[in-house]
Amino acid sequence: MGALDGKVAIVTGAGSGIGRASAKRFAAEGAKLVIGDKTEAVFETAKAITDAGGTATALQIDAGNEADVAKLVDVAKTSYGGLDIAFANAGISGGMDGIFDAKAEDFAEILRVNLIGPWLMVKHAGKLMLEQGRGGSIICTASVAGIRSGAGGAHYSASKAGVINLIKTSAQQLSSTGIRVNAICPGLIETGMTERVFVYARENDKMDKVGRLNPLRRAGQPSEIANMALFLASDEASYVNGQAIAVDGGLSSSHPVTRQETGKPAV
């Protein structure tokens, strides 16, 4: 038996990266999927799932648009009979503009997708889960950039800090419903959003520099975030609620310091 046998799950941002890896992992563990993405690549993800024997319905959507998010939830209900898991993963980076360089419209767009989008999922998925009366798991992708500065631009970091507070507030407001709300805070993960970093590093023989600020001294892979998403989605995490869990190789465990040689104590 799979960890998600008999469950119905929504995953946004499923056209690539963390969303695609999580959708495929959920399906492999027995869940029926409704997946969304702004690109047509979401249909490739669905095909990969069905080719592997899983079940998935794909929709090309805008994760920050209320009608689109409501549609994902409605499709889960009408096509598969309900909803047990909602992973609001879709997001945009917005670059590294400083606070004096960023434009108000760019700031607003990042908040729309990265923060309003997860709230819309909590709102619509949460309502259906409440009506069903059997609990559920809502997961949002935040970031280590939402924990402290230094991992993203001001607008991106603010949006992810908002996600962290959103899941805590939502968990409290959904008290006694059996609906759990948690966030994952990835560190540096090799996805389309970070592609330029990895392309540059490989072309210039600098892969040893990528991820060097965390104790594991490497970047992460989408599958490693999918593993955490699977745990939070499953009944194994039945007592985990209102938490923002960093999956970052240890990056957020410390403030930036000058690194010592391995095995030698700091003076």
pLDDT, residue 133, reads 97
10 Å CB burial of residue 171 (0-12, 13-18, 19+) is buried
Percent of the chain with pLDDT over 90: 75
Mean pLDDT of 254-260: 61
Give the pLDDT score at 214.
84
Place of tokens 């997961």: 139
Report d(CA 167, CA 42) in Å as an integer. Answer: 26
Q: What is the pairing mode between strands 32-37 and 55-60? A: parallel
Give the burial class of 99: count Cβ atoms within 10 A of its Cβ; 0-12 exposed, 13-18 middle, 19 or more buried.
exposed
Region 70-81: mean pLDDT is 98
Share of the chain above pLDDT 70, in %: 89
Task: Report pLDDT for 95.
Answer: 72
Res 199: pLDDT: 65
Element (H, E) at 138: strand 136-141
Q: What is the pTM of this model?
A: 0.92
Assess whether 80 carries a catalytic annotation: no
- The reported pLDDT for the residue numbered 204 is 75
113 and 92 Cβ atoms separated by less than 8 Å: yes
Per-residue pLDDT at 206 exceeds 90 = no
Q: Are 56 and 31 in contact (CB under 8 A)?
A: no
Residue 63 and residue 32: Cα distance in Å, rounded? 20
Identify the weakest region by mean pLDDT among 15-19, 174-178, 179-183, 251-255. 251-255
- Closest alpha carbon to 73 in 18, 136, 17, 2: 136
- What is d(CA 112, CA 102) in angstroms, rounded to the nearest whole number? 15
Q: Flag whether pLDDT at 201 surpasses 70.
A: no
The 10s digit of each residue's pLDDT in 94-112 is 776 778 888 899 999 999 9
- Give the per-residue pLDDT at 256: 65
H/E run at residue 225: helix 222-233
pLDDT confidence of residue 264: 56
81 closest CA partner among 24, 14, 133, 7: 7
267 confidence band (pLDDT: 50, 70, 90)? very low
The pLDDT value recorded for residue 210 is 65
Q: Which residue among 80, 156, 200, 239 is the active-site one? A: 156
Q: Enumerate domains of the chain plus CATH numbers.
A: 8-190+221-248 (3.40.50.720)
